[in-house]
Structure 1
Amino acid sequence: MDTQLPEFYTIEDSLLRVEADFTASEVHGIACAVLAFNNQYAEKAWQVQVLKGDAQDFYIQEARRLLKQLFKATLAQLNSGDLDFELLLPPEQDSLEAQVAALQKWCQGFAFGLALSGLKTMQDLPEDTRDWVQDVVKIGAAGEMDVHDEDESETAFFELAEFVRVGVLLMNEELQPVRGRPQLTETSQELIE
Protein backbone atom coordinates (compact mmCIF):
# COMPACT_ATOMS: atom_id res chain seq x y z
CA MET A 1 0.00 0.00 0.00
CA ASP A 2 1.26 3.48 -0.86
CA THR A 3 2.41 5.39 2.22
CA GLN A 4 3.14 8.66 0.39
CA LEU A 5 0.82 11.48 1.44
CA PRO A 6 -0.46 13.75 -1.33
CA GLU A 7 1.39 17.07 -1.55
CA PHE A 8 0.12 19.64 0.96
CA TYR A 9 -0.85 22.36 -1.52
CA THR A 10 -2.48 19.89 -3.91
CA ILE A 11 -4.99 19.05 -1.18
CA GLU A 12 -5.19 22.60 0.16
CA ASP A 13 -5.99 24.02 -3.30
CA SER A 14 -8.54 21.29 -3.99
CA LEU A 15 -10.32 22.00 -0.70
CA LEU A 16 -10.31 25.74 -1.43
CA ARG A 17 -11.87 25.16 -4.87
CA VAL A 18 -14.83 23.34 -3.31
CA GLU A 19 -15.09 25.82 -0.42
CA ALA A 20 -14.60 23.06 2.14
CA ASP A 21 -14.97 23.87 5.82
CA PHE A 22 -11.55 22.39 6.61
CA THR A 23 -7.92 22.97 5.60
CA ALA A 24 -5.55 20.24 4.39
CA SER A 25 -3.94 20.03 7.83
CA GLU A 26 -7.33 19.80 9.55
CA VAL A 27 -8.59 16.95 7.35
CA HIS A 28 -5.36 15.07 8.02
CA GLY A 29 -5.73 15.67 11.76
CA ILE A 30 -9.29 14.35 11.60
CA ALA A 31 -8.16 11.27 9.66
CA CYS A 32 -5.35 10.60 12.13
CA ALA A 33 -7.71 10.80 15.10
CA VAL A 34 -10.37 8.47 13.73
CA LEU A 35 -7.75 5.96 12.53
CA ALA A 36 -5.63 6.04 15.70
CA PHE A 37 -8.78 5.37 17.72
CA ASN A 38 -10.18 2.78 15.31
CA ASN A 39 -8.19 1.68 12.26
CA GLN A 40 -11.36 0.13 10.87
CA TYR A 41 -13.02 3.55 10.62
CA ALA A 42 -14.66 3.82 7.20
CA GLU A 43 -13.05 6.22 4.74
CA LYS A 44 -16.48 7.11 3.32
CA ALA A 45 -17.79 8.04 6.78
CA TRP A 46 -14.77 10.32 7.23
CA GLN A 47 -15.31 11.92 3.82
CA VAL A 48 -18.96 12.63 4.61
CA GLN A 49 -17.76 14.65 7.61
CA VAL A 50 -15.02 16.62 5.86
CA LEU A 51 -16.43 17.29 2.40
CA LYS A 52 -19.89 18.39 1.29
CA GLY A 53 -21.05 19.05 -2.23
CA ASP A 54 -22.57 17.70 -5.42
CA ALA A 55 -21.04 14.32 -6.25
CA GLN A 56 -21.32 15.18 -9.96
CA ASP A 57 -19.17 18.30 -9.64
CA PHE A 58 -15.70 17.80 -11.16
CA TYR A 59 -13.92 19.63 -8.32
CA ILE A 60 -15.78 17.63 -5.67
CA GLN A 61 -14.75 14.42 -7.46
CA GLU A 62 -11.14 15.60 -7.56
CA ALA A 63 -11.21 16.47 -3.85
CA ARG A 64 -12.76 13.09 -3.00
CA ARG A 65 -10.04 11.28 -4.96
CA LEU A 66 -7.30 13.21 -3.14
CA LEU A 67 -8.93 12.69 0.24
CA LYS A 68 -9.23 8.96 -0.43
CA GLN A 69 -5.51 8.87 -1.24
CA LEU A 70 -4.75 10.86 1.94
CA PHE A 71 -6.84 8.54 4.12
CA LYS A 72 -5.31 5.35 2.71
CA ALA A 73 -1.74 6.68 2.97
CA THR A 74 -2.37 7.81 6.55
CA LEU A 75 -3.71 4.38 7.51
CA ALA A 76 -0.70 2.72 5.86
CA GLN A 77 1.75 5.05 7.64
CA LEU A 78 0.14 4.51 11.04
CA ASN A 79 0.31 0.75 10.70
CA SER A 80 3.50 0.21 8.71
CA GLY A 81 5.75 -0.62 11.66
CA ASP A 82 8.63 1.48 10.29
CA LEU A 83 7.61 4.76 11.98
CA ASP A 84 7.50 6.78 8.75
CA PHE A 85 4.30 8.58 9.79
CA GLU A 86 4.31 12.29 8.95
CA LEU A 87 2.00 15.24 9.58
CA LEU A 88 0.48 16.98 6.56
CA LEU A 89 1.92 20.48 6.96
CA PRO A 90 3.22 23.14 4.55
CA PRO A 91 6.73 22.53 3.20
CA GLU A 92 9.71 23.76 5.23
CA GLN A 93 10.38 26.63 2.80
CA ASP A 94 7.05 28.22 3.78
CA SER A 95 7.05 30.84 6.50
CA LEU A 96 7.26 29.70 10.09
CA GLU A 97 3.94 31.49 10.75
CA ALA A 98 2.24 29.37 8.06
CA GLN A 99 3.72 26.17 9.47
CA VAL A 100 2.68 27.04 13.04
CA ALA A 101 -0.85 27.96 11.91
CA ALA A 102 -1.13 24.66 10.01
CA LEU A 103 0.05 22.67 13.04
CA GLN A 104 -2.60 24.37 15.14
CA LYS A 105 -5.22 23.55 12.48
CA TRP A 106 -3.98 19.94 12.46
CA CYS A 107 -4.46 19.80 16.24
CA GLN A 108 -7.96 21.29 15.95
CA GLY A 109 -8.79 18.67 13.33
CA PHE A 110 -7.43 15.93 15.57
CA ALA A 111 -9.71 17.08 18.43
CA PHE A 112 -12.69 17.10 16.04
CA GLY A 113 -11.70 13.66 14.76
CA LEU A 114 -11.69 12.23 18.26
CA ALA A 115 -15.26 13.45 18.69
CA LEU A 116 -16.18 11.67 15.42
CA SER A 117 -14.29 8.50 16.30
CA GLY A 118 -16.77 7.29 18.85
CA LEU A 119 -14.65 8.19 21.87
CA LYS A 120 -17.18 8.82 24.59
CA THR A 121 -14.95 10.36 27.24
CA MET A 122 -11.26 11.12 27.69
CA GLN A 123 -11.31 8.68 30.60
CA ASP A 124 -11.69 5.88 28.01
CA LEU A 125 -8.12 6.58 26.86
CA PRO A 126 -4.98 5.15 28.52
CA GLU A 127 -3.38 7.72 30.86
CA ASP A 128 -0.35 8.55 28.66
CA THR A 129 -2.54 8.97 25.59
CA ARG A 130 -5.07 11.04 27.54
CA ASP A 131 -2.32 13.43 28.72
CA TRP A 132 -0.96 13.74 25.17
CA VAL A 133 -4.44 14.37 23.71
CA GLN A 134 -5.04 17.11 26.27
CA ASP A 135 -1.77 18.74 25.17
CA VAL A 136 -2.81 18.51 21.50
CA VAL A 137 -6.14 20.18 22.30
CA LYS A 138 -4.25 22.98 24.07
CA ILE A 139 -1.96 23.47 21.05
CA GLY A 140 -5.00 23.74 18.80
CA ALA A 141 -6.62 26.30 21.09
CA ALA A 142 -3.46 28.33 21.81
CA GLY A 143 -4.25 31.23 19.51
CA GLU A 144 -1.53 33.13 17.68
CA MET A 145 1.98 32.11 18.68
CA ASP A 146 4.90 34.53 18.92
CA VAL A 147 7.54 33.70 16.31
CA HIS A 148 9.73 36.83 16.48
CA ASP A 149 13.00 35.08 17.40
CA GLU A 150 13.27 33.06 14.19
CA ASP A 151 15.91 30.51 15.28
CA GLU A 152 14.43 29.82 18.69
CA SER A 153 10.89 29.72 17.30
CA GLU A 154 11.89 27.35 14.49
CA THR A 155 13.50 24.95 16.95
CA ALA A 156 10.42 25.11 19.21
CA PHE A 157 8.14 24.47 16.23
CA PHE A 158 10.08 21.40 15.09
CA GLU A 159 10.08 20.01 18.63
CA LEU A 160 6.34 20.62 18.94
CA ALA A 161 5.62 19.02 15.55
CA GLU A 162 7.74 16.00 16.52
CA PHE A 163 5.90 15.76 19.87
CA VAL A 164 2.59 15.64 17.98
CA ARG A 165 3.88 13.19 15.34
CA VAL A 166 5.31 10.72 17.86
CA GLY A 167 2.24 11.06 20.06
CA VAL A 168 -0.03 9.93 17.22
CA LEU A 169 2.14 6.84 16.75
CA LEU A 170 2.09 6.08 20.47
CA MET A 171 -1.67 6.55 20.67
CA ASN A 172 -2.16 4.28 17.69
CA GLU A 173 0.12 1.65 19.23
CA GLU A 174 -1.60 1.84 22.63
CA LEU A 175 -5.07 1.54 21.18
CA GLN A 176 -4.27 -0.79 18.26
CA PRO A 177 -0.93 -2.55 18.60
CA VAL A 178 0.83 -3.27 15.31
CA ARG A 179 0.98 -6.99 14.65
CA GLY A 180 4.43 -8.37 13.97
CA ARG A 181 7.90 -6.97 14.45
CA PRO A 182 8.80 -3.44 13.40
CA GLN A 183 10.86 -3.40 10.22
CA LEU A 184 14.26 -1.78 10.13
CA THR A 185 14.90 0.61 7.30
CA GLU A 186 18.37 0.84 5.75
CA THR A 187 19.08 3.98 7.78
CA SER A 188 18.06 2.26 11.02
CA GLN A 189 20.21 -0.75 10.16
CA GLU A 190 23.24 1.51 9.53
CA LEU A 191 22.78 3.15 12.93
CA ILE A 192 22.74 -0.22 14.66
CA GLU A 193 25.91 -1.39 12.95
Structure 2
Amino acid sequence: MSSDVAKNQVVDFDGLADLCLRHRCFQSPSLFHGVLTGQLCGQQRLPREQWLLLFGQLLGSDQSVLEGDDRQLALDLLDQVLEALSAGSLDFEPLLPDDLYELEERFSALVKWIQGFLKSLKAADLENMELSEEAQEGLDDLQKIVTEAGRTTLHTDEDNEKDLIALQEFVRMVAMLIYTELHPGMPQVENPKKPTNLH
Protein backbone atom coordinates (compact mmCIF):
# COMPACT_ATOMS: atom_id res chain seq x y z
CA MET A 1 0.00 0.00 0.00
CA SER A 2 1.39 3.39 -0.94
CA SER A 3 1.83 6.14 1.62
CA ASP A 4 -0.72 8.26 -0.26
CA VAL A 5 -3.37 5.60 0.16
CA ALA A 6 -2.45 5.07 3.81
CA LYS A 7 -2.97 8.74 4.55
CA ASN A 8 -6.52 8.70 3.22
CA GLN A 9 -8.07 5.81 5.07
CA VAL A 10 -11.52 6.45 6.50
CA VAL A 11 -11.58 6.18 10.28
CA ASP A 12 -14.75 4.45 11.45
CA PHE A 13 -16.13 3.71 14.91
CA ASP A 14 -14.81 0.14 15.07
CA GLY A 15 -11.34 1.13 13.87
CA LEU A 16 -11.04 3.76 16.58
CA ALA A 17 -12.46 1.32 19.14
CA ASP A 18 -9.72 -1.18 18.23
CA LEU A 19 -7.05 1.46 18.81
CA CYS A 20 -8.55 2.30 22.20
CA LEU A 21 -8.51 -1.37 23.21
CA ARG A 22 -4.86 -1.72 22.17
CA HIS A 23 -4.03 1.10 24.57
CA ARG A 24 -6.31 -0.33 27.26
CA CYS A 25 -8.41 2.80 27.03
CA PHE A 26 -12.10 2.35 27.77
CA GLN A 27 -13.27 5.73 26.51
CA SER A 28 -15.92 5.69 23.80
CA PRO A 29 -14.61 6.42 20.27
CA SER A 30 -17.52 8.85 20.05
CA LEU A 31 -15.98 10.92 22.86
CA PHE A 32 -12.76 11.31 20.84
CA HIS A 33 -14.74 12.47 17.82
CA GLY A 34 -16.83 14.89 19.89
CA VAL A 35 -13.72 16.39 21.50
CA LEU A 36 -12.07 16.83 18.11
CA THR A 37 -15.18 18.40 16.58
CA GLY A 38 -15.42 20.84 19.47
CA GLN A 39 -11.75 21.72 19.10
CA LEU A 40 -12.16 22.41 15.39
CA CYS A 41 -15.32 24.46 15.98
CA GLY A 42 -13.85 26.51 18.82
CA GLN A 43 -10.43 27.27 17.33
CA GLN A 44 -9.51 29.05 14.14
CA ARG A 45 -6.69 26.56 13.66
CA LEU A 46 -5.91 23.30 15.42
CA PRO A 47 -2.20 22.44 15.06
CA ARG A 48 -1.64 18.80 14.24
CA GLU A 49 0.83 18.29 17.07
CA GLN A 50 -1.65 19.78 19.54
CA TRP A 51 -4.27 17.26 18.39
CA LEU A 52 -1.80 14.37 18.70
CA LEU A 53 -1.04 15.47 22.26
CA LEU A 54 -4.74 15.72 23.11
CA PHE A 55 -5.42 12.36 21.47
CA GLY A 56 -2.68 10.78 23.56
CA GLN A 57 -4.12 12.31 26.72
CA LEU A 58 -7.56 10.88 25.89
CA LEU A 59 -5.95 7.49 25.45
CA GLY A 60 -4.25 7.84 28.79
CA SER A 61 -0.86 7.84 27.06
CA ASP A 62 1.75 10.45 26.38
CA GLN A 63 2.32 11.74 22.88
CA SER A 64 5.43 9.63 22.31
CA VAL A 65 3.29 6.47 22.35
CA LEU A 66 1.47 7.59 19.22
CA GLU A 67 3.68 6.16 16.52
CA GLY A 68 3.22 4.44 13.21
CA ASP A 69 -0.36 3.37 12.45
CA ASP A 70 -1.74 4.88 15.66
CA ARG A 71 -0.31 8.29 14.88
CA GLN A 72 -1.57 8.05 11.31
CA LEU A 73 -5.06 7.13 12.47
CA ALA A 74 -5.18 10.19 14.74
CA LEU A 75 -4.09 12.44 11.86
CA ASP A 76 -6.52 10.77 9.44
CA LEU A 77 -9.31 11.43 11.93
CA LEU A 78 -8.31 15.10 12.17
CA ASP A 79 -8.29 15.49 8.37
CA GLN A 80 -11.55 13.58 8.02
CA VAL A 81 -13.48 15.72 10.52
CA LEU A 82 -12.06 19.00 9.26
CA GLU A 83 -12.91 18.15 5.67
CA ALA A 84 -16.46 17.12 6.59
CA LEU A 85 -17.08 20.29 8.63
CA SER A 86 -15.75 22.64 5.97
CA ALA A 87 -17.08 20.88 2.86
CA GLY A 88 -19.90 22.43 0.86
CA SER A 89 -21.77 19.13 0.84
CA LEU A 90 -22.59 19.41 4.57
CA ASP A 91 -22.05 15.69 5.03
CA PHE A 92 -20.53 15.89 8.52
CA GLU A 93 -21.67 13.08 10.82
CA PRO A 94 -20.85 12.39 14.48
CA LEU A 95 -18.83 9.19 14.80
CA LEU A 96 -21.26 6.71 16.32
CA PRO A 97 -21.76 2.94 16.39
CA ASP A 98 -23.93 1.60 13.59
CA ASP A 99 -27.32 -0.08 13.89
CA LEU A 100 -25.73 -3.46 14.62
CA TYR A 101 -25.27 -2.13 18.16
CA GLU A 102 -28.09 -2.05 20.71
CA LEU A 103 -30.15 1.15 20.83
CA GLU A 104 -28.99 1.84 24.39
CA GLU A 105 -25.33 1.62 23.33
CA ARG A 106 -25.91 3.97 20.41
CA PHE A 107 -27.68 6.51 22.62
CA SER A 108 -24.89 6.27 25.21
CA ALA A 109 -22.29 6.90 22.49
CA LEU A 110 -24.22 9.94 21.28
CA VAL A 111 -24.27 11.34 24.81
CA LYS A 112 -20.51 10.76 25.09
CA TRP A 113 -20.04 12.58 21.77
CA ILE A 114 -22.03 15.56 23.04
CA GLN A 115 -20.07 15.62 26.32
CA GLY A 116 -16.76 15.73 24.45
CA PHE A 117 -18.05 18.38 22.06
CA LEU A 118 -19.34 20.67 24.81
CA LYS A 119 -16.21 20.23 26.93
CA SER A 120 -13.99 21.29 24.02
CA LEU A 121 -16.15 24.31 23.24
CA LYS A 122 -16.08 25.40 26.87
CA ALA A 123 -12.30 25.09 26.90
CA ALA A 124 -12.20 27.31 23.80
CA ASP A 125 -13.77 30.19 25.78
CA LEU A 126 -17.04 29.97 23.87
CA GLU A 127 -18.71 32.47 26.22
CA ASN A 128 -16.76 35.28 24.56
CA MET A 129 -17.60 34.24 21.00
CA GLU A 130 -20.41 35.66 18.87
CA LEU A 131 -23.14 33.08 18.32
CA SER A 132 -26.63 33.47 16.92
CA GLU A 133 -29.67 32.84 19.08
CA GLU A 134 -30.32 29.61 17.14
CA ALA A 135 -26.80 28.32 17.77
CA GLN A 136 -26.97 29.18 21.48
CA GLU A 137 -30.34 27.47 21.80
CA GLY A 138 -28.87 24.43 20.04
CA LEU A 139 -26.03 24.28 22.57
CA ASP A 140 -28.49 24.64 25.44
CA ASP A 141 -30.50 21.73 24.04
CA LEU A 142 -27.35 19.60 23.79
CA GLN A 143 -26.64 20.28 27.45
CA LYS A 144 -30.21 19.24 28.31
CA ILE A 145 -29.69 15.95 26.46
CA VAL A 146 -26.62 15.23 28.59
CA THR A 147 -28.37 16.27 31.80
CA GLU A 148 -31.42 14.11 31.13
CA ALA A 149 -29.52 11.11 29.74
CA GLY A 150 -29.28 9.40 33.11
CA ARG A 151 -33.07 9.46 33.42
CA THR A 152 -33.66 8.12 29.91
CA THR A 153 -34.30 4.43 29.37
CA LEU A 154 -34.40 3.18 25.79
CA HIS A 155 -36.19 0.09 24.64
CA THR A 156 -35.61 -1.25 21.16
CA ASP A 157 -38.72 -0.32 19.25
CA GLU A 158 -39.56 1.57 16.09
CA ASP A 159 -40.48 4.84 17.81
CA ASN A 160 -37.26 5.02 19.83
CA GLU A 161 -35.25 4.14 16.72
CA LYS A 162 -36.82 7.07 14.88
CA ASP A 163 -36.27 9.37 17.86
CA LEU A 164 -32.59 8.43 18.08
CA ILE A 165 -32.10 9.09 14.36
CA ALA A 166 -33.81 12.48 14.76
CA LEU A 167 -31.62 13.25 17.76
CA GLN A 168 -28.46 12.35 15.82
CA GLU A 169 -29.57 14.66 13.01
CA PHE A 170 -30.15 17.48 15.47
CA VAL A 171 -26.69 17.05 16.99
CA ARG A 172 -25.15 16.96 13.52
CA MET A 173 -26.88 20.20 12.50
CA VAL A 174 -25.91 22.03 15.71
CA ALA A 175 -22.25 21.08 15.21
CA MET A 176 -22.25 22.33 11.62
CA LEU A 177 -24.09 25.51 12.60
CA ILE A 178 -21.52 26.28 15.31
CA TYR A 179 -18.66 25.62 12.91
CA THR A 180 -20.04 27.82 10.13
CA GLU A 181 -20.79 30.69 12.52
CA LEU A 182 -17.32 30.64 14.06
CA HIS A 183 -15.61 30.14 10.68
CA PRO A 184 -17.15 32.77 8.37
CA GLY A 185 -17.08 32.00 4.67
CA MET A 186 -17.87 28.33 5.19
CA PRO A 187 -21.17 26.80 4.01
CA GLN A 188 -24.33 27.99 5.74
CA VAL A 189 -26.54 25.51 7.54
CA GLU A 190 -30.26 25.57 8.11
CA ASN A 191 -31.31 26.27 11.67
CA PRO A 192 -31.51 22.99 13.58
CA LYS A 193 -34.92 21.77 14.67
CA LYS A 194 -35.59 20.98 18.29
CA PRO A 195 -34.78 17.38 19.17
CA THR A 196 -37.54 14.86 19.72
CA ASN A 197 -37.86 13.60 23.28
CA LEU A 198 -36.89 9.96 23.65
CA HIS A 199 -39.24 7.66 25.53
- CA 1:98–1:3 in structure 2 vs 1: closer, same or farther (change >3 Å)? farther
- CA 1:108–1:54 in structure 2 vs 1: closer, same or farther (change >3 Å)? closer
Q: CA offsets, 1:82-109, max 9 Å, x none? A: 1111110001221111110110000011
- Matched-pair contact (CA < 8 Å) for 1:15–1:63: no
- Matched-pair contact (CA < 8 Å) for 1:39–1:75: no
For 1:125, the aligned partner's letter is L
Q: CA offsets, 1:123-182, max 9 Å, x none? A: 743322121112112223322522125111101100000000011111111111345899
Q: Does 1:81 align with 2:77?
A: no
**Which fold has the larger relative contact order, with Cα–Cα distance below 8 Å and residues 6 or more apart in sequence?**
1
- CA 1:87–1:179 in structure 2 vs 1: closer, same or farther (change >3 Å)? closer
Provide the residue aligned with 1:8 in structure 2.
Answer: 13
Provide the residue aligned with 1:95 in structure 2.
Answer: 102
Provide the residue aligned with 2:193 in structure 1.
Answer: none
Provide the residue aligned with 2:145 in structure 1.
Answer: 139
TM superposition score normalised by structure 2: 0.78
Unaligned runs of 5+ in 1: 183-193
Q: Measure, in 1, the Cα distance between the counterparts of 2:8 and 2:85.
A: 9
Q: Measure, in 2, the Cα distance between the counterparts of 1:70 and 1:111.
A: 19
- CA 1:181–1:107 in structure 2 vs 1: closer, same or farther (change >3 Å)? closer
Q: Measure, in 1, the Cα distance between the counterparts of 2:47 and 2:36.
A: 10
Provide the residue aligned with 1:190 in structure 2.
Answer: none
Q: Measure, in 1, the Cα distance between the counterparts of 2:8 and 2:103.
A: 26
Q: Does 1:129 align with 2:135?
A: yes
Q: How many equivalent residue pairs?
A: 179
Q: Does 1:153 align with 2:156?
A: no
TM superposition score normalised by structure 1: 0.80
- CA 1:7–1:84 in structure 2 vs 1: closer, same or farther (change >3 Å)? same
Q: Measure, in 2, the Cα distance between the counterparts of 1:148 and 1:181.
A: 36
- CA 1:4–1:175 in structure 2 vs 1: closer, same or farther (change >3 Å)? farther
Q: Does 1:31 align with 2:46?
A: no
Q: Measure, in 2, the Cα distance between the counterparts of 1:94 and 1:160.
A: 17
Pairing partner for 2:46 from 36, 41, 64? 41
The 3-state SS of whatever aligns with 2:99 is coil
- CA 1:166–1:179 in structure 2 vs 1: closer, same or farther (change >3 Å)? closer
- CA 1:98–1:122 in structure 2 vs 1: closer, same or farther (change >3 Å)? farther
Unaligned runs of 5+ in 2: 1-6, 190-199
Q: Measure, in 1, the Cα distance between the counterparts of 2:113 and 2:174.
A: 13
Q: CA offsets, 1:6-44, max 9 Å, x none? A: 111110120122134632101110111111222412232
